[in-house]
């Protein structure tokens, strides 16, 4: 049976510290936590910082995609997908449709 953790994890401590002062460098985070008696590596700080940036980036991209779809006025994405499939069938498949779109974008 797994042990119950009595204290917060190092990653959560790093996240809390970065929320308080996001401008800290990695070495400053390590030295600040060392002053508190918590031993963390620079690699862990980089990892935690990268995870939070990745989440923000994915969330931002999702919001941008939703904004694009709502800006076009098309509220039925299934109908749009069916139209694209129909166009692909007319030109000879999805690969050829993609090639046409790529040629038009150049």
The pLDDT value given to residue 5: 66
pLDDT given for residue 41 in this prediction = 94
Q: Domain boundaries in the chain?
A: 8-74, 76-106
Instruction: Indicate whether this model's pTM tops 0.75.
Output: no
For residues 32 and 39, what is the distance between their CA atoms, to the nearest angstrom? 10
Place of tokens 């989440």: 55
Q: pLDDT in tens for each of the 106 residues of the chain?
A: 667 767 789 999 999 999 999 899 999 999 999 999 999 999 999 999 988 877 777 788 888 888 887 777 766 778 888 888 898 899 899 899 888 888 888 7
Looking at residue 2, its pLDDT comes to: 66
Q: At what angle do helices 94-105 and 77-91 cross, to 10 degrees?
A: 100
**Cα separation values, 94 from 69, 81, 83, 105, Å:** 21, 12, 12, 16
């Amino acid at each position: 049976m797994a042990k119950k953790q009595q204290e917060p994890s190092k990653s959560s401590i790093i996240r809390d510290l970065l929320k308080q002062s996001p401008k800290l460098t990695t070495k400053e985070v390590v030295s600040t936590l060392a002053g508190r008696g918590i031993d963390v590596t620079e690699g862990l700080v980089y990892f935690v910082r990268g995870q939070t940036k990745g989440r923000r980036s994915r969330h931002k991209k999702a919001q941008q995609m939703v904004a694009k779809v709502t800006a076009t006025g098309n509220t039925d994405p299934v109908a749009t997908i069916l139209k694209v499939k129909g166009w692909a069938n007319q030109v000879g498949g999805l690969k050829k449709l993609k090639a046409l779109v790529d040629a038009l974008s150049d």
